[in-house]
A and B are shown apart, each in its own frame.
Chain A
């Protein structure tokens, strides 16, 4: 069984400020972890993924996330927020073994970037 908890359904930051979106997971097998972004009226776009290689993962648009097994966390960060980062962000987990390896998503965090 697997689950994802995203702390904070809404996060607001000022333009240029650090972005930190929190994600904790639970998985009975070693997980693969993902962050997806959803812009209004659009589909889900992959930002980055952790698949048991380097624990610090870099993604598109200067986002990165660090897998911390001891804390069961995979928080998403970006050093300097842009207005264009305003969107909903979803953390997701899939098992690293098994058949279909479907994704289990968190509830999402709506990021607002203030001018």
Chain B
């Protein structure tokens, strides 16, 4: 069964460092998303991406964040200068289209900023 894969599963970084979280969406999917879940809190939408550009983004997704689909298979989330409050589980998701079909989620990357 096709699945969304995320690497690494766990990343520890020092405050102020740049991190790149990687995702490989399901191959025929066209819409891509990043969500995050701070420990003990709800899953929050960060950004959606379609046709090589951002479709929508939340207020969380500030200038420190960027997304890219560099090679037609990977979908990355970059945090330019990490803060302690960026510590969270980051989920990548993809959908085949923007209709009612469900989003398929990856296993997540747990980011710990120290």
A binds B: yes
Chain B CB within 8 A of A82 CB? no
Q: Is the CB of A103 within 8 A of B103?
A: yes
Given A43-B105, A43-B107, A100-B55, A49–B42 Cβ distance below 8 Å? Answer: no
Chain A contacts with B in 18-54, Cβ cutoff 8 A: 32, 34, 36, 42-46, 49, 51-52
Closest to B102 in A: A46
Interface residues of A in 86-115 (CB under 8 A from B): 90, 92, 96, 99-108
CB-based contact B56/A108 at 8 Å: no
Interface flag for B72 (CB, 8 Å): no
Residue numbers of A with Cβ under 8 A of B are 32, 34, 36, 42-46, 49, 51-52, 90, 92, 96, 99-108
B98 cross-chain contacts in A, Cβ below 8 A: 99-101
Taken together as a complex, chains A and B put the C-alpha atoms of A96 and B48 apart, in Å, by 16
Known contacts A44-B93, A99-B98; 9 additional CB pairs below 8 A are A36-B105, A43-B108, A99-B56, A101-B98, A102-B56, A103-B35, A103-B103, A105-B35, A105-B44
